[in-house]
Structure 1
Amino acid sequence: MFPGVEGVIRSLHAAGMPIALATSKPESMARRVLEHVGLDGYFTVIAGASEDEERSTKADVVAEALRRLRAHGVDVSDPVMVGDRGYDTLGAAAHDVPTILVEWGYGSPAEAGDAFAVVHSADQLRSALLP
């Protein structure tokens, strides 16, 4: 867990903001990780790559997360992706979703070119997401 991220997730949840995970990792693994750290209950949707590889690209995963959010009655007219890689930006852009790129994680500054915004800390991320 990156420093401050748990607090951001809790703040978003407390503000009533629906939260979805759209990861390229296998969905079953993502669920286990979130359960292990006690954060699974904060997510409206947990979407990841399917075990059968039918859903394997980031764009596919983002599409599935948006579909599931809609099924939960969530208005997805103004979503935002938070990611750490250029893959996140490209996958979200395929669905006209802007990306906030975080400077921690696995990405590099070179991957931030197509991001809507770049943040350097969890506090900046919180400020970008909450009014």
Structure 2
Amino acid sequence: MRPTAVLFDLDGTITHSGPAITRSIADALAAFGYAAQTPEQLLRFVGPPIRVGLQRFAGVSDADLEPVVAHYRAAYTERMLDVDLYPGVPELIAQLHGAGVPLAVATSKTQVMAEPILAHAGLTRYFTVICGATTDETRSAKADIVIDALTGLAAAGADISRAVMVGDRHHDVEGATEHGIPAILVRWGYGQPGEEDGAHAVVADAAELAALLGQPVPASR
């Protein structure tokens, strides 16, 4: 592949954010008397919009939803910068930027959270646009975020004719496919078997991703 632009998911693709997210979900559920979930069950919350996850996986009632979301976000805000970056991924991002490939972040995390996380990681300067969900999640479906990123790239003068999406969950694949762009699913995130259905390719590490994107293996920091 020789992409003209690359969209990156954030959680599970750039940042190993699972522990911070799952601890915060567990805190919020416990505070409102919902049943405890296993570590494996909590990983289901990493990827989809938070309101969707709370109702689908924990059965949070409509009446409790907004207070639980508020509790989760307060707990997560205290932890969200304390995350690791996946090996080789920040180097590949810098390398793509240096090669003149326009980049975007397309995440279902709220934009007001995504921006400081990327800034703390020192990655903001590499992205032409950073797109995330609205705080109220009225715009949070991955297809919405993908088109926002594509629109932002195009407005900045980027060629999006051969754009690709890189992510770790089926939401990324489905959101990209809805807009006719190929998706690459990474195995180092939080996806489960079967989530690669519909993906253009699946990669196991940053070296494989670099090769697929027509880049040399990124040097580690």
Task: Decide: shared fold, TM above 0.5.
Answer: yes
Contact 1:12/1:130 (<8 A) preserved:
no
Q: Of 27, 30, 37, which aligns to 2:111?
A: 27
1:130 is displaced (CA, Å) by: 2.3
* Off by >3 Å, runs of 4+ in structure 1: none
- When Rg is computed on C-alpha atoms for both structures, the one with the higher figure is 2
Deviations 1:62-101 (A, max 9, x none): 0100111111011111100000000000011110011010
Q: For residue 120 of structure 2, what is the aligned residue in structure 1?
A: 36
Contact 1:8/1:126 (<8 A) preserved:
yes
Q: For residue 4 of structure 1, what is the aligned residue in structure 2?
A: 88
For structure 1, the 5+ residue unaligned runs are none
Deviations 1:36-75 (A, max 9, x none): 0100000011001012323110000001001111110111
- RMSD, matched Cα: 1.0
Q: Of 74, 87, 90, which aligns to 2:158?
A: 74
1:100-119 equivalences under 5 Å are 100-119=184-203
SS in 2 for 1:89: helix
Q: How many residues are matched?
A: 131
Deviations 1:6-62 (A, max 9, x none): 111011011010000000000111111000010000001100101232311000000
Q: Find the aligned partners of 1:11 and 1:108 in 2 and give their Cα distance.
A: 29
Q: For residue 18 of structure 1, what is the aligned residue in structure 2?
A: 102
Q: Could you tell me the TM-score, scaled by structure 2's length? A: 0.58
Q: Find the aligned partners of 2:181 and 2:139 in 1 and give their Cα distance.
A: 18
For structure 2, the 5+ residue unaligned runs are 1-84, 216-221
Q: Find the aligned partners of 2:161 and 2:131 in 1 and give their Cα distance.
A: 19
Give identity over the alignment, percent: 53
